[in-house]
Amino acid sequence: MSGLTRRRSPWLALAAVGAASCVALAGMGPALAAPPAPAAVVAAPPMKSAVTTASTEYAQRFLDLYNEIHDPANGYFSPQGIPYHSIETLIVEAPDYGHETTSEAYSFWMWLEASYGQVTGDWEPFNAAWTTMERYMIPQAADQPTNSFYDPSKPATFAAEYDHPSKYPSAINSGVASGVDPIGAELRSTYGTSDVYGMHWIADVDNKYGFGGSPGGGCNTGPASTGTSYINTFQRGTQESVWETITQPSCDNFRYGGTNGFLDLFTQDASYAKQWKFTNAPDADARAIEAAYWAHTWATEQGNESKIAATVAKAAKMGDYLRYSLFDKYFKKIGCTAPSCAAGTGRDSAHYLQSWYYAWGGATDTSAGWAWRIGSSASHFGYQNPMSAWALSNVSVLTPKSPTAKDDWSKSLDRQLEFYQWLQSAEGGIAGGATNSWGGGYGTPPAGTSTFYGMGYQVAPVYSDPPSNQWFGMQVWSMERVAELYYATGDARAKKLLDKWVPWAIAHTEVNADGTWSIPATLGWSGQPDTWNATSPGGNAGLHVTVVDTGQDVGIAGDYAKLLTYYGAKSGDAAAKSTAKALLDVMWENNRDDKGISTTETREDYKRFDDVMTSTTGDGVYVPQGWTGTMPNGDVIKPGVSFLDIRSWYKDDPDWPKVQAYLDGGPAPTFNYHRFWAQAAIATAMADYDRLLGTPATPDTTAPTVPTGLTSPSKTATSVSLSWTASTDAVGVTGYDVYRGTTLVGTATGTTYTDTGLTASTAYSYTVRAKDAAGNVSAPSTALSVTTSAGTGGDTTAPTVPTGLTSPSKTATSVSLSWTASTDAVGVTGYDVYRGTTLVGTATGTTYTDTGLTASTAYSYTVRAKDAAGNVSAPSTALSVTTSAATPTASCTVAYTANSWNTGFTASVKVTNTGTAALSSWTLGFAFPSGQQVTQGWSANWSQSGTQVTATNAAWNGSLAAGASVEIGFNGSHTGTNTAPSAFTVNGAACG
């Protein structure tokens, strides 16, 4: 069963601002006095012929899947070029119809096209995908017409969230204070507009419901309209499953629904105004930004950075607005435990976590003039994306333009990684999340509830039908981003999380020789994390996860393989690499069909199609007594209706007969679904495996072409500027070496360079060589002779030569240097430090430390002084320094932690192979000093004789690569004293 049957998409509870009828539900729609003529469907531009062959196995698999996804006969895209949620129309999960789409689908599409660019060098599809998203999923100015009335000092009016649909509509309550929106004015100033640049989460691509209202084309234009239309579903509390939703238009002009459209199903107010409203799913926007980061990285490696620069800049802009997800729903201070708690006045309302949604809306009547915005109080670990947070705060082309955005995302990166650590269970899985608004109304959490910066722990944040953290897919989606961060940056915090999570997941993964396979599906949770202490985090010995059942979710298996690929490529973990390969291979060999990769799903939940609301179960569609309305096709909305009653068109679906047979008492129906996101996940996993772990391609031995057109556009008495025409290369040019005569004077990544520190009225000869990533270097360009300008009485005197170069200290990997300051007629501005002939750094003072060196290796250093006029001194006397020898280390280390209570305890043991060779098996040994006894263990085979304890590897974790770790654990008993063991051995050798 797909995870999306288990995963609720983001919903917006309730908010209102200004006038009593200003309600923040979720949706969109422009203001029009009368509906315009139906808009014609704009067909997608014809797709140019895609690349069909690759030189390596997994890249070829990627291209095969890519072309199946793009084959019009398979039906993954609408006539407008919009990705459907699935090929099949009869499918009910977060989207309640297969030919709807989500921001999630768009974000996976960005990944797919980024991978296509990486494999083929063709970046047009990536740009085209973003353009389509911008046109059909990011509301246009006409769709959010009254944003200019938004007042950041009064962002929204409070309406409580409740745990069950039957408690709605929720009363607007202006007596609960909202805080100040600290980024609204900044965004308006930065971009010169009040419009929000973020995706709405769901759209009815074929206008199946009939609300109408294509982006920029009108509000509720009706069933005759063609093309995509913004809608919304979830609105009413944690217990509202997809089977209990009443789908409504994002722009509500009261044409459908009841007297007040659909608004009074959700909020209770004195009067109601026609309005537009949108909800953003932050994990989707963050995934799109994440894809843009990798696209930028891969295109840059190919020399194609400029081809996607404009699209990458749009991703940075999206990241600017995505900051709304980092704030409490009503901008209350973090740690709020009562409706009367203080309103935020700035960043004190920021939890810095990616929450479940942000939303915005306003009146359709431009003369009425009001608009609102909200963040979200609840944060699920599954929505965190530390990879995008890192990119938005560390990569210049992705850093948003707003002055405070970089700092916000830098803080969010740290806070997200803390959040994972706080929620990691004793076994390794990550628990649910936290909220700043207990019970949806800023209530007080029950006594003893664990907290994270004052936010209360929730085992199933946001929704509970089904529980939001029982689906293994949430684990995979979120931890994949952690793995990417670890791969891209080497972040030790990310590695620590993965070192514990990966063995736990692999232990519950099976790939068999007969083609059967399974991964975790449903998880169970017990206990809670320790209250967060940033200076001394707890070990969470009381927080546990169990794998309730396993299954074959092909989309999650694809993303799981991708996670393991990134982790394995960086850490060298053999189990991760082999499991990634096994999952990709078994699906390719056993689950392929003519449209992609799928597996048979039994949908017992389809028994809920005709459920009606009962007081016994609380299930079914809740409609308040006395409320009546109609859907665009005439279906009546009233108390006692079922999901099917207000979607009667499902009865015309070609797959409906087998559902009807099930409702009539037959067996549960089965389907082979082809979800867009799942196919994209598998395809991109193939591309990533090929790139990181696959068979290396034929070595690149072809040098770039020779640079041409070398010229000097300008010069001074002491400098010469050079430019040239770019070279080409079979893979990609990575840079250029610039020579003055036979001396290498510098390198450039672009096609310009300025040589400084020259002498006036002197002729110099220059050549340029191009180079690629494989180390191939072109022949030199045609030489260019340039004579510097005559001196004009300015400063042409170089500083004196630095003297006294010495090394006051060194390590195995670094050398510290110091020297006596130079003097200059005007003033020394800095020093260039050379290791041999390579410029390794600059200093404004008289010290410098060179790092990243090799132990027991001799290096030669010189230093040159420079001044503001570009004059550079002759080099200092060379200094030879030999780095220290590497410090010998033990071949293993063991970290032992225990959490005790009464006469029992739980111990966690982390064994690390610090040697240079891999272990094919391992046996850990230690002795208890106080008579303790092992009562139950996991992740190893445990035995005890007297005080001596032995743990041998399990079948799945015996291979321990150099530098790799394995975490095991046990429960034990003691008689009042629980002193930790003081010495450990692995395979008989003592550990450090």
Q: Which residues are catalytic?
A: 514
Q: Looking at this protein, which amino acid is placed at residue 737?
A: D
Written as six digits, the tokens of 562 are: 């991708």
Report helix, strand and coil shares of the chain as percent, to nearest 5.
25, 25, 45
| Helix ranges (DSSP H) in 43-102 | 57-70
Query: What gap in Å lies between CA 941 and CA 193, rounded to an integer?
Result: 63
Bridge partner list, 524: 546
DSSP 343: B
Query: What gap in Å lies between CA 646 and CA 634, rounded to an integer?
Result: 9
Using DSSP, state whether 886 is helix, strand or coil: coil
Query: What gap in Å lies between CA 871 and CA 451, rounded to an integer?
Result: 60
Q: Is 53 exposed, middle or buried (0-12, 13-18, 19+ CB in 10 A)?
A: exposed
Query: Using an 8 Å Cβ cutoff, are 273 and 22 in contact?
Result: yes
Bridge partner list, 832: 842, 864
Question: What is the rounded end-to-end Cα distance, in angstroms, of the chain?
Answer: 47
Bridge partner list, 950: 925, 943
E-only strand ranges, 405-467 = 433-435, 451-452, 455-458
Written as six digits, the tokens of 858 are: 């001799």
Query: Using an 8 Å Cβ cutoff, are 252 and 29 in contact?
Result: yes
Query: What gap in Å lies between CA 239 and CA 257, rounded to an integer?
Result: 23
Query: Using an 8 Å Cβ cutoff, are 906 and 971 in contact?
Result: yes
Bridge partner list, 953: 940
Taking CA atoms, 973 is separated from 542, 909, 941, 984, in Å, by: 16, 16, 18, 20
Q: Looking at this protein, which amino acid is placed at residue 940?
A: A
Query: What gap in Å lies between CA 166 and CA 160, rounded to an integer?
Result: 14
Q: Looking at this protein, which amino acid is placed at residue 450?
A: S
Taking CA atoms, 222 is separated from 107, 613, 980, in Å, by: 28, 29, 72
Query: Using an 8 Å Cβ cutoff, are 254 and 274 in contact?
Result: yes
Using DSSP, state whether 834 is helix, strand or coil: strand
The number of beta carbons lying within 10 Å of the beta carbon of residue 315 is 26
Query: What gap in Å lies between CA 727 and CA 715, rounded to an integer?
Result: 24
- Selection from 249, 201, 210, 247 nearest residue 105 by Cα: 201
Written as six digits, the tokens of 931 are: 């008579």
Query: Using an 8 Å Cβ cutoff, are 143 and 215 in contact?
Result: yes
List the Cα angle 592/290/553 in 5-degree steps: 30
- Prior bond of 466 cis (ω within 30°): yes
Look at strands 933-938 and 923-927 and give their pairing.
Answer: unpaired
φ/ψ region of 302 (left if φ > 0, alpha if ψ in -120 to 50, else beta) reads: alpha
Query: What gap in Å lies between CA 417 and CA 393, rounded to an integer?
Result: 15
Query: What gap in Å lies between CA 100 and CA 675, rounded to an integer?
Result: 11
Q: What are phi and psi of 132, to 5 degrees?
A: -65, -45
Query: What gap in Å lies between CA 355 and CA 350, rounded to an integer?
Result: 11
Residue 389: enclosing H or E segment and its boundaries? Answer: helix 386-394
Query: What gap in Å lies between CA 863 and CA 616, rounded to an integer?
Result: 83
